[in-house]
């Protein structure tokens, strides 16, 4: 069978079939249009090993001699009920074809579909691979039970080979209020596994797993990276065998008996998204951004084709301003104060619905509280819209408090591990923030939630939902069987149905901050809340690594209170604003308490955001490689090289007395640019407080002018920033 070659944007993927099964023999640098006889890639046969060349297939399997982690695990029962039969399939190719999707351009085949079957085992796997125009690879498997008895699926993994020169592995981890922090280690023999059993993506989930050449960095080195687009339980892994081969992959983490396929039924894996770059991590980021922004439903100002083109409005969220203190007059005052600053979207957070005075009661009763709001939400909505702002609302539809009408009336709708429902005395899982999970697998519970949200959106002029999910799905079951898989799909159906009924409403994925951030949920939502932490120092790292995959227009970034509610730190208004600027900008603070000087800086920051959000939300993200661990320089550069916006950030004290010169990456080396500071400015109250120096570098007062090559290779001497301060720089190509 003729090999299949997919290629796009400097990436090639080659599938070979000489062994009888599908095998990816190359995923990496572009190979051009001509391929040699791939038989030359047949490996040697070692001593004390199988007498055949071992194939690392598209679905790795023991029937081909693979002794690493299998791609497919499952079994059948015999007539006596004994389990374990059909444990080792021998999938072989029965069909394979490649095609070019419309609009992909002249680069060649971009999509491959491979069907492998084992008639004796009664199994068939169809694999879809698409190399998107920007170079992002998308891979899914569909397993069909073609046999005559049920097949209990344990795992179906999506894997890709990485070469031996991938010497280091980087992934992300974290916790509540500290999501998406990088960790790195050398690749060694054995299997490295990250498991997520949260029933959601998880605060500690690895948004990105990247294998790279030794010392790979932001701007250099070869990198092979993957992301698993699933919002439920999952595993991500690197399988490194003694024979030197390595497989990078992920799979849904299924509970015992969670997926049993009856004859004729099928299961499709969540998508594995993968990117190759020979330009370090920034090259991986660029591939993800191009994919996101090419989606027809993508939101955000677009400099290129694709997306809706709608600018991301400046947000004011009420949570850290009023918490549960919902009174009409103060909220109208807050809306007036927000409008005066230039806010475009006002979001009423938790506390508006029936019985909700704190977090112990009310979840599930999605009716406007008549005691708090005797005229409904209309007076507040009218006031907000009267100031030219959109109105948004917080909901948490997947959860329920025991102290709620819906829990009292429908205890059988509450998730528990036992076969008997809570109504019949079945054991519940432990509470988390005084709440339990509503069983969306139950059609009646699903319909109730849909009807309530549909009524809210139909009866009020709501443009935005902040959709929260504040607990793990521990011991999650329906009818006594594990059901995270079905719960996740039911939640997806809920999002999809509401979006279809109310296409004008944008939805944010919040999950006690960043515990549900993945490409599965982002196919159904318009932004994520990266963390419940609004501390600007913490946010610098959280946003940098969240934006390694997600473009900034999808990442909510707010100016929090002067005194951070989650860490106790105090930061200047310019540092908080500079941090929020490089995302979907907003505020979560009682801005009525801001001083005149702080309001002046906020106005300038909001004007700066509005001026540059077209650039911020369409350009290329770049991150400089600096030797100083506590100093960062990151920015966004337009695709035409005309302009950029950068931020130099001191995360802590610097080792050297002066930060030295920093190269500004991503500029056109042949063009001349002017570099000027834009936040803070000398008009801001904390301009002098941002620096610890007798005199600034010579260029800071009047700006600097130099070629892109000079700015990149020689750089500019940075001012001596105080710890936990930032300087935002505008870079503009000069005329001619």
- 3-state SS string over 80-103? CCCEEECCCCCCEEEEEEEECCCC
Q: What is the DSSP letter of 680?
A: S
pLDDT averaged over every residue in the chain: 95
Query: pLDDT tens for residues 677-706?
Result: 999 998 888 898 999 999 999 999 889 999
Condensed to tens digits (0 to 9), the pLDDT of residues 536-572 reads 999 999 999 999 999 999 999 999 999 999 999 999 9
Which of the four pLDDT bands, split at 50, 70 and 90, describes residue 309?
Answer: low
Residues 222-235, mean pLDDT to the nearest whole number: 98
Write out the E strands in 561-712.
584-587, 620-623, 631-637, 643-650, 661-662, 672-679, 704-707
How many Cβ atoms from other residues are within 10 Å of residue 176's Cβ?
15
The contacts of residue 71 (CB under 8 Å, 6+ apart) are: 57, 58, 59, 60, 61, 156, 157, 159
Q: With 90 as the cut, is the pLDDT of residue 426 above it?
A: no
Residue 735: CB atoms within 10 A of its CB come to: 5
How far is residue 486's CA from residue 116's CA, in Å, rounded to a whole number?
A: 26
Top-tier CATH class for 4-294 = mainly beta
pLDDT of 79 higher than 90: no
Q: What is the pLDDT of residues 617-662, one digit of tens each?
A: 999 999 999 999 999 999 999 999 999 999 999 999 999 999 999 9
Question: The domain 624-733 belongs to what CATH superfamily?
Answer: Golgi alpha-mannosidase II (2.60.40.1180)
Percentage of the chain surpassing pLDDT 70? 98
> Is the CB of residue 38 less than 8 Å from the CB of residue 16?
yes
Q: Residues 155, 60: contact at Cβ < 8 Å?
A: no
Map residue 228 onto helix, strand or coil.
strand
Q: What share of the chain is helix, strand, coil (3-state, %, to 5)?
A: 20, 30, 45
Q: What is the pLDDT of residues 192-205, one digit of tens each?
A: 999 999 999 999 99
Residue 510: pLDDT over 80? yes
Phi/psi at 193 (5° precision): -135, 135
Burial (Cβ within 10 Å: 0-12, 13-18, ≥19) of residue 661? exposed
CATH 3.20.20.70 fits 315-619, yes or no: yes
pLDDT band at 305 (very low <50, low <70, confident <90, very high): very low
Residue 494 Rama label (left phi>0; alpha psi -120 to 50; beta): alpha
Rounded alpha-carbon distances, angstroms, from residue 39 to 2, 42, 63: 12, 6, 20
Give the predicted TM-score (pTM) of the model: 0.97
- Residue 535 annotated to the active site: no
Q: Known catalytic residue: 359?
A: no
According to DSSP, the residues that pair with 131 across neighbouring strands are 137
What pLDDT is attached to residue 303?
46
In this structure, what DSSP letter does residue 451 have? Answer: H
CB 479 within 8 A of CB 408: no
Domain ranges of the chain: 4-294, 315-619, 624-733
- The stretch 332-351 carries a mean pLDDT of 98
* Number of alpha carbons in the 13 Å side-chain half-sphere of residue 56: 24
> In this structure, what token pair is assigned to residue 365?
């009763």
- Are 623 and 544 in contact by the 8 Å Cβ rule? The answer is yes
Which is catalytic among the residues 118, 365, 468, 535? 468
Among 532, 535, 684, 686, the one annotated catalytic: 532
Give residue 557's pLDDT.
98
Condensed to tens digits (0 to 9), the pLDDT of residues 249-277 reads 999 999 999 999 999 999 999 999 999 99
Q: Identify the residue whose tokens are 């009682």.
A: 590
């Amino acid at each position: 069978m003729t090999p299949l070659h997919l290629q796009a944007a400097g990436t090639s993927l080659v599938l070979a079939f000489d062994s009888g099964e599908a095998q990816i023999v190359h995923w990496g640098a572009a190979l051009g249009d001509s391929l040699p006889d791939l038989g030359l890639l047949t490996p040697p046969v070692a001593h004390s090993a199988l007498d055949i060349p071992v194939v690392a297939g598209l679905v790795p399997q023991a029937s081909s001699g693979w002794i690493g982690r299998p791609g497919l695990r499952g079994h059948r029962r015999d007539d006596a009920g004994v389990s374990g039969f059909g444990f080792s399939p021998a999938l072989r190719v029965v069909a394979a074809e490649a095609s070019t999707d419309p609009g992909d351009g002249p680069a060649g085949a971009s999509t491959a579909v491979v069907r492998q079957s084992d008639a004796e085992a009664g199994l068939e796997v169809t694999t879809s691979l698409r190399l998107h125009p920007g170079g992002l690879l998308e891979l899914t498997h569909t397993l069909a039970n073609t046999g005559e008895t049920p097949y209990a699926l344990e795992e179906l993994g999506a894997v890709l080979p990485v070469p031996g020169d991938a010497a280091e592995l980087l992934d992300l981890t974290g916790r509540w209020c500290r999501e998406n922090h990088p960790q790195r280690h050398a690749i060694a023999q054995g299997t490295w596994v990250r498991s997520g059993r949260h029933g959601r993506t998880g605060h500690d989930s690895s948004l990105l797993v990247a294998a790279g050449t030794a010392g790979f960095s932001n701007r250099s080195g070869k990198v092979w990276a993957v992301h698993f687009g699933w919002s439920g339980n999952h595993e991500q892994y690197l399988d490194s065998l003694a024979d030197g081969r390595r497989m990078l992959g992920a799979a849904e983490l299924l509970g015992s008996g969670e997926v049993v396929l009856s004859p004729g039924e099928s299961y499709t894996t969540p998508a594995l998204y993968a990117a190759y770059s020979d330009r370090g991590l920034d090259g991986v980021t660029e591939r993800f951004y191009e994919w996101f922004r090419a989606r027809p439903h993508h939101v955000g100002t677009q400099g290129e084709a694709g997306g809706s083109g709608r600018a991301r409005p400046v947000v004011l969220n009420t949570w850290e301003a009023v918490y549960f203190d919902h009174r009409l007059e103060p909220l109208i005052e807050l809306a007036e104060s927000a409008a005066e600053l230039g806010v475009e979207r006002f979001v009423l957070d938790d506390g508006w619905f029936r019985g909700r005075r704190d977090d112990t009661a009310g979840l599930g009763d999605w009716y406007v509280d008549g005691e708090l709001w005797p005229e409904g939400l209309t007076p507040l909505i009218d006031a907000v819209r009267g100031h030219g702002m959109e109105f948004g609302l917080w909901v948490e539809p997947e959860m329920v408090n025991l102290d709620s009408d819906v829990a009292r009336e429908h205890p059988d709708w509450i998730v528990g591990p036992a076969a008997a429902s809570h109504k019949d005395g079945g054991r519940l899982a432990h509470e988390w923030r005084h709440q339990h999970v509503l069983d969306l697998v139950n059609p009646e519970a699903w319909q109730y939630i849909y009807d309530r949200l549909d009524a809210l959106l139909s009866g009020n002029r709501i443009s935005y939902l902040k959709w929260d999910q504040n607990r793990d799905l521990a011991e999650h079951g329906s009818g006594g069987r594990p059901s995270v898989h079905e719960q996740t799909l039911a939640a997806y159906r809920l999002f999809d149905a509401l979006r279809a009924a109310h296409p004008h409403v944008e939805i944010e994925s919040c999950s006690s901050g960043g515990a549900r951030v993945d490409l599965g949920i982002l196919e159904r939502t318009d932004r994520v809340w990266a963390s419940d932490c609004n501390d600007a120092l913490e946010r610098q790292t959280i946003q940098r690594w969240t934006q390694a995959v997600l473009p900034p227009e999808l990442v909510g970034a707010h100016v929090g209170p002067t005194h951070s509610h989650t860490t106790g730190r105090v930061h200047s208004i310019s540092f908080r604003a500079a941090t929020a600027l490089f995302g979907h900008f907003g505020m979560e603070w009682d801005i009525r308490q801001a001083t005149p000087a702080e309001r002046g800086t906020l106005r300038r920051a909001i004007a700066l955001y509005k001026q540059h959000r077209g650039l911020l939300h369409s350009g290329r993200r770049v991150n400089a490689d600096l030797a100083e661990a506590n100093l960062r320089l990151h920015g966004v550069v337009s695709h035409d090289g005309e302009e950029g916006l950068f931020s130099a950030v001191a995360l802590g004290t610097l080792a050297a007395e002066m930060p030295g010169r920093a190269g500004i990456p991503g500029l056109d080396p042949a063009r001349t640019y002017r570099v000027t500071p834009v936040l803070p400015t000398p008009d801001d109250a904390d301009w002098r407080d941002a620096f610890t120096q007798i005199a600034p570098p010579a260029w800071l007062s009047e700006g600097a002018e130099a070629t892109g090559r000079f700015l990149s290779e020689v750089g500019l001497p940075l001012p001596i920033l105080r710890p936990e301060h930032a300087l935002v720089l505008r870079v503009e190509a000069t005329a001619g």
